[in-house]
Every structure is written in structure tokens, then in C-alpha cells.
A and B are shown apart, each in its own frame.
Chain A
Amino acid sequence: MNSSSVAQYLLPVLVALPLGGALLIQLLKKISKLTSDIIANSILLVLVVLVFSLLNSPMLVYKVGGWMPVKGVPIGIYLVLDGLSLLLLIIINTIGLISLIFSISYMKKFTNKPLYYTLFLLMIAGMNGVVISGDLFNIYVFLEVAAIASYSLVAFGTEADELEAAFKYQVMGTVASAFILLGIVIIYSTTGTLNLADIGRVLKDKATEAPIILTGILFLVGFGLKGAMMPFHAWLPDAHPSAPAPISAMLSGVLIKAIGIYALVRIMFNVIGVTPIFSNMMLCISAISMTAGVFLAFAQWDFKRLLAYHSISQMGYVMLGISLYTPLGILGGLFHMLNHSVFKSLLFLNSGAVVYGTGSRQLKRLGGLNQKMPVTGGTCLVASMSIAGLPPFNGFWSKLIIIMACIQSDHFFLAALAVLVSIMTLVSFLKVQRYAFFGSLKQGLTDIKEVPFAMCFSMILLAFLCTIMGALLFPGLKEIFIDPAVNTLVNGREYISLVLK
């Protein structure tokens, strides 16, 4: 057994382990209060180790149940690990671990902690399942696992507005799933198969037929709803602020990428093939998301709501980079996706720490928190500079690459827009810093304390990542972390032959 075949057996473990952990928590929760904390955190730790051990591995294809293809036609479900999946796996599990460490203290304010951990692990299992799946219907099933876990986590506080936000989120999410399922049905009826690579092979020169174009639009709407791109964003500004802070960090930092953008990009770029009309449509949507998101964020005085609107805007950058469809643009988009997951999770964790310390998230009621909560203030400053794109933090490098890619492919207007949005983001975060962290301490906030160690630890870890992640662009690191993912998208439909060989 050589090393790649051992690595192959790790693929199903990525789903089976968090799932088993969730079940174990439910079976063993009576034993002690600490069981759920220990099981959940250790499982995420093991997952992170597993994912990093998969770095540098070649493309892996795993056939569930041992069902080998018959006459070249796959009959079982394939699990596929390539550069893009690996990038997403790193994001999901690392941010998941850090959010879980944050939860140890933060979730003490809520009742029934084991239930929270169960749902969290199910969400991780769902997202891992989506990312490593090579089968269209399998993607749908695991997308629903992640989505249903996230709906109930948004309502975990069971206050009136949280329930409302969760209901709205779930209605939108279910409509999105219906669109995706309709697309899957049309694909199945034209091709007779569900394996992504096999679909790509059958559709080789059918990408311009009417049903396939309709499918593309259905997937764009469906995954666009899940990923909160601009005309379909209505649920996000309610759902993300309502969730407990670690869940907001997961939703904004990971979920909208894993079940929104990743799934869309995987299906459109690697399987169906991108037509110019489609990529122009994506460019339009991303430009609108980018600009409108930041304008809407401007008017917000609720800390978490402001961050939620910035998520829409930053995801616009990611989409812009990817849909330019040049190697440089895809590099910028994917790198920004990685960076966004780090700094946006940090910002949401900061907002959680502020709520934990002061009980309020209205910027106008805060002020001078730097004197009492130095760790939160300091890490938030790092994250703000990172999201606004100031050197030397990670956000600067990825935005720079995206803007360069725009200029390189003659989209000068989009480049100017990207710079403008970046400046607006800076102004918006100056407002946050000015009202919440600098200035004089407001009355009533005099006896607040810094948050407990576990929360500080996870925020410092993320701030450290923000500072050093620019280094991922250096030769040596770039080849390991980012280039395989970029190549997956640049090579487009070569994916098909790689999987089927």
C-alpha cells in the first residue's frame, strides 16, 4: 500500500468522523457536563490534522462501496479530492476548530450545550460532504445536512427576532434547494447519470442546448441564494447577526463559500463549462454585490448587521476574481476567499466578545472598549485593517491581485470599482473603530471585563493568521496551498478526464 492509497482512505473519514462525533455526543451526554466539549473539540482537532496531512497529495478518487465503473460508466458515488476541495477543507475545518474553541466559553450563556455541539458537528459533516463529493445528488443531500443544521443554529437563542430570521432563512434556503433539485432532474433526464465527471463527458458539446442553459440559470439562482449574492441576499443580513457569534463566524466565513460559491464554481467550471454569457452574468452579479453590499453596510449601526453586509460585499470580490476566468483573477478570487474566511470570522468573534462583555451590539451604545478589553480591541483593529485592504495584512494582497487581474483583462471600470469599494470599506471600519473601541468609555460600561481565555486565544490565533497569511504568496508556500486550487479551475473540464481515468 503506497502513501496515496492510504490517503485515499482518509476521504470518507472526513465525513464519518464528525457524524460519528455528533451521534456519540447524543449517546454519551448524560455522563458528564464536559463530555460534549471534549468530544467536539478533539474531533475537530483530528480533522484539522487529517486535512493538513492531505496537503501535497495527488488528486484522489474514491469509489464508495467499491463499485468500480462498468465499461467506463461510473455506477457508484465518487468522492474526489483535488486542489479546490482541499482549499475548502482547510477553510472549513480550521475555522470550525477555532470557532469551537471560542464556543467553549461563549456558549455557557445558552442552555443545552450538547445540542449545540451536535448541530455544529453535523454542519461540519455536511460541508465536508459537499466539498469532497463527486456526485451531483450527493452534493444536494449533504448541502441539505449543512443547511438544516445552520437553520436551527441561527434560531438557537429562541428569541423572537432569531426565530424570524431563521424562518426567513429557511424559506429562502428551501426555495434555493428546490431550484437546485430541478436543475439536477433536468440534468439526469438529459444525461442519465449523476456522476459529475460523467455528466461533463456526456454534455461535452451540448452546453448551448436549451435545457442545459436553463440548468445553468437554475444553479446560478439556487447556489446564488445559498451564497447570498446580491439580488438574492435578503436572508443574510437577518440570519447572520441573529446566530450566536461562533455560528455567525461559521456562516459568514465558511458556509456561504462551501455550499454557495464552491458548489456553483465546481459545477459550472469543471462540469458544464462556462459560456461567455454566463461569465458576464457572474461579473455583473459580483459587481452589484460588491458595491451595493458596502453601501448598505454604511447605514448600519448594529455591529453584526454591518459585518453581515460587508460579507456580501467581500463575496462580490471573490466572485469577481473567479469569474474573470484568467489565472491571475482566479488566484486572486480564491486567495481572497481564504483571507475572507479568516478576517470575517475574526470580526464576528470580536462582535461576540463585545456582546459577551457588554451585552450590547449597538455601536452608539459602545465606546472606549480598548481600555477594558485590550485583546478584543487589538484583534479587531487587525481584522479591520485586513478587510479594508491595508498592507501588510492578508486582505491587501488578495485585493491587489484581483485589481491587477481586472486591469490585465481590460476591465478598467471593474478595477476602479474594486478600489472604490475598498476605500468605502475602510471608512466603514473606521466608524466601527471610532465608535466602539476608541474614544472615552461610556457610562455603564465601567465594570466590564476582558473575555475568558478560550475566547481570547481563538481571536489571537486568527489575528496572527491575518498578519502572516500574505506569506502564502511566496514561492514554496504558494505551490502547496493555492496553486493546486487555481489549477483546478484554470484547467476547467480537464477535471473530467482526471476523474475518469
Chain B
Amino acid sequence: MFVILVLLMILMIAGAVVAIQSKDLLSAVISMGIVGFGLTLVFLVLQAPDLAIVQIVVETLTLIILIAAILKTTMKESKAEKSAVVIYSAAATVILLIILLSVFGNTFKDLPDWGCENLRMSKYYIEQGLEKTGAENLVDAVILDFRAYDTLGEATVLFTAVMGILAVLRSKGRKK
């Protein structure tokens, strides 16, 4: 189990690096698809079938949107420029990332151990969820009953994004 998980994560990181470094935008998007579908498998390994279903359909839709946008415009990333500014900013970024990585490494080992349960809020969900809400799927019970208010916010976010996309894609913003 652990080994599969680690392998999947390595695959995802490799996919991410390729997605960011590749010169062709279409292959960058496809490599991003590797990360997304890898994430789907990670969810399956982690006993989260709900998330796997949602992630696989959302990933497909994201790819459709991105590929549609690329086919409509251009596939080439413009040429990399080798000036002093670029090199300095790259060096600064790398230093920043190394600092952040060491910070993450130091703090993540103080987190509770992986695989042991650390329940406080969700103890009740697991023990009484079915009885109190009548839904066998506890994730559904959480998002639509215990934390339904969050889901209203989530639906609103999607609605806002639709409104925003309609606003942004208007061909003329101002009259006359």
C-alpha cells in the first residue's frame, strides 16, 4: 500500500515537472493530465471513492477547457530569454524553494503520524452519521447535512465563476 502510494507520488511529481518544463503547451497540458489522473489513483488507494469519481470527471473537464483554449490560440511557448535578470530571478526562486522545502521538512515531521486517526469533529460523523442523517455515504452526509452551508458556498462559487466567465467573455464591455 505504502509503496504504491510513494510510486504514484513520484509519478505525479515527474508529471508536474514535465508539465512545467515542456516547450509545447499541448504536451504540458497532457502532462498535467498525468498529475490529475495520478491523483485519482491516490484517492482510490486512500479509500476515497467519492473523491476519485469527482476528480476523474473534473480532470477530464479541465483538460477539455484547457485544450479548447490552446487549440483556439497557440501551442508554442515563446522562446526562453537568457538575460541577467532571468538568471538572477531563477537563482532567487531556487533559494526560496530550498528554504521552503527545509521548512516543510522540519514541520511536517511534527504533525501527527500518518495512518493513525486523530478524530475530534468527525468522531460523531462516523459513529452517528447514518442514524442522524439517514445517508449511508458518510461523505455525502457531511457535505449535505453537517456542513451543508459550506456546500451552498461551493455551489455559489461555481455560479459566481459562470457569471464571471460570462462577464469576461463579453465582446464589448463598454457601450458606444
- Evaluate contact between A77 and B147: CB separation under 8 angstroms: yes
The number of chain A residues with a CB under 8 A from chain B is 60
- Within the complex, the shortest CB–CB distance from B63 to chain A, in Å, comes to 19
Cβ of A86 under 8 Å from chain B: no
Segment from B2-10, B81-89, B112-120 that makes contact with A: B112-120
Residues in B with CB closer than 8 Å to A144 are 153, 157
**A192 located at the interface, meaning its Cβ lies under 8 Å from any Cβ of chain B in the complex:** yes
Stretch at the interface among A207-215, A258-266, A275-283, A404-412: A207-215
B72 within 8 A of A: no
* A186 interface residue (CB < 8 Å to B): yes
Asked, given contacts A129-B153, A137-B150, whether A190 binds B106 with beta carbons under 8 Å apart, the answer is: no
Closest Cβ of chain B to A73, distance in Å, is 6
A210 touches B106 (CB 8 A): yes
Contact A192 B120 (CB under 8 A): yes
Stretch from A91-99, A104-112, A388-396, A442-450 that touches the partner: A104-112
Q: Interface readout for A456-484 with B: 1 if CB under 8 Å, 0 if not? A: 00000000000000000000000000000
CB–CB A122/B170 < 8 A:
no
- Taking CB atoms and an 8 Å cut-off, the chain A residues in 41-67 that contact chain B are 64-65, 67
Q: Once the chains are docked, how many angstroms separate the CA of A141 from the CA of B156?
A: 9
Complex partner residue of B111 from A111, A129, A211, CB under 8 angstroms: A211
Residues of chain B from 108 to 166 with CB closer than 8 A to chain A in the complex: 108, 110-112, 118-125, 145-150, 152-154, 156-157, 159-161, 163-166
User: Contacting chain B: which of A193-201, A327-335, A340-348, A369-377?
Assistant: A193-201
A116 to B161, CA, bound (A): 13
Query: Is B79 interfacial (CB 8 A cutoff)?
Result: no
User: Contact: B157 with A151, CB < 8 Å?
Assistant: no
> In the assembled complex, which residues on chain B have CB atoms less than 8 Å from the CB atom of A35?
none
Size of interface on B: residues with Cβ below 8 Å to A: 41
The residue of chain B having its C-beta at the shortest distance from the C-beta of A70 within the complex is B124
A428 within 8 A of B: no
B120 to chain A, nearest CB (A): 3
Interface flag for A7 (CB, 8 Å): no
B-facing mask of A141-179, CB < 8 A → 1, else 0?
110110011011101111100110010000000000000
Residue pair A118, B163 in contact (C-beta under 8 Å): yes
- Complex Cα gap A255–B171 (Å): 28
Inter-chain CA distance A211–B147, complex, in Å, is 26
Query: Do A65 and B164 have beta carbons less than 8 Å apart?
Result: no
B128 to A: closest C-beta gap in Å: 8
Type the 1/0 row for B81-105, where 1 means its CB is closer than 8 Å to any CB of A.
0000000000000000000000100
Q: Do A145 and B150 have beta carbons less than 8 Å apart?
A: no
| Contacting residue for A192 out of B122, B146, B147, B152, CB 8 A | B122
In the complex, A118→B161 CA distance in Å? Answer: 12
26 pairs, A vs B, C-beta closer than 8 Å: A64-B149, A65-B146, A73-B121, A73-B123, A75-B124, A77-B147, A77-B149, A112-B170, A119-B164, A137-B147, A137-B150, A141-B150, A152-B167, A158-B168, A159-B173, A163-B168, A189-B118, A190-B118, A191-B120, A192-B118, A192-B120, A198-B120, A209-B110, A210-B107, A211-B107, A211-B111
Give 16 A-B pairs besides A65-B149, A210-B110, A211-B111 with Cβ atoms closer than 8 angstroms: A64-B148, A74-B121, A112-B166, A122-B159, A122-B160, A137-B147, A138-B150, A141-B150, A148-B160, A158-B170, A163-B168, A186-B111, A189-B111, A192-B118, A198-B121, A202-B120
The 4 closest A-B pairs by CB, nearest first: A152-B164, A192-B120, A158-B173, A141-B153
